[in-house]
Each structure stands twice: as structure tokens, then as C-alpha cells.
Amino acid sequence: MGPLDARGRADALRWMFYQSQHLTDAFSGRVFNMVAKAKLGLPPDHDAIKRSTEAIPGVLAILEGHLAKSRWMMGEEFSLVDCCYLPSLNALAMTHYELKDYPKVSAYPASAGERPSWQAAGVLDFRRDFAIPKP
């Protein structure tokens, strides 16, 4: 489920820290205000959505460049790092964020969904299970 050598583990940590600090930070304002608040019947903070939406392209560009080199975050093998990224990307999809400029990022969650283990786990389809109306 992940690299065993020290260099590989360090690289995995690097990508997990990137996800937790940069990707989550960029996505959270949009996801929280467009999904969570909508489900709770609370008004969204449009300034937070705007700031989040402006931060997303830079984060996705780095992810797109990385996924252009390999199928999964750590190479050709699915790993724990992928398990960190996929829920965030599914949450972003719930906001109807357009990924047309990021074809590798766009295809990435679908690739995971094709995995028998992913299907057997009964992983939520965020777009189906927590759908919000398109803005």
C-alpha cells in the first residue's frame, strides 16, 4: 500500500503533506460553503468561495503535472497516498468545479473507481450520495 524504502516513504509523506496543507486549504472554502452549508441550510460565504476558487488552479496544476508522469500518486501502484487525495477530489466534484483544463486530475478518481477493491469497499460516490444542485 506504499513504498518500503526510506526515499519512497519520504516522497509519500511529501505528497500527503501537500494534500493536507495545500490541496485541502485550497478546496475547503469552496466545499464547506457550497456543500456542507447547503446541506445545513446555512448561507454560503461568497468571499470564501471566491478565495478558494482562485487558489484551486495552482494546486491542480501541480497535481496535473505529477499525474502526467504516472497513473497513481506514487507511480504505477495504488497507495495510501491515493487514499488521501481521492476523497478531496470527490468533495471538489460535489461543487461542480470544472476540471477540463486538468485531464489527468479529472480521470484520476474514475481510475480508482475501476479498482475491484474500491468497488468492494463500497466507497461513497460523493456526486451521487451528496449531490447538490448545479449553481
The DSSP code for 36 is: I
Residue-wise pLDDT for 10-61, tens only, equals 999 999 999 999 999 999 999 999 998 988 899 999 999 999 999 999 999 9
Residue-wise pLDDT for 62-90, tens only, equals 999 999 999 999 998 899 999 999 989 98
| Banded model confidence at residue 114, pLDDT cuts 50, 70, 90 | confident
Q: How far apart are CA 25 and CA 49, in angstroms?
A: 12
Q: How far apart are CA 106 and CA 127, in angstroms?
A: 14
Q: How far apart are CA 68 and CA 45, in angstroms?
A: 34
Three-class SS of residue 72?
Answer: strand
Phi and psi, residue 37, nearest 5°: -65, -35
Q: Retrieve residue 32's grid coordinates.
A: 464547506
CB atoms within 10 A of CB 106: 17
Q: Where are the domains of the chain?
A: 6-129
For 6-129, CATH number?
A: 1.20.1050.10
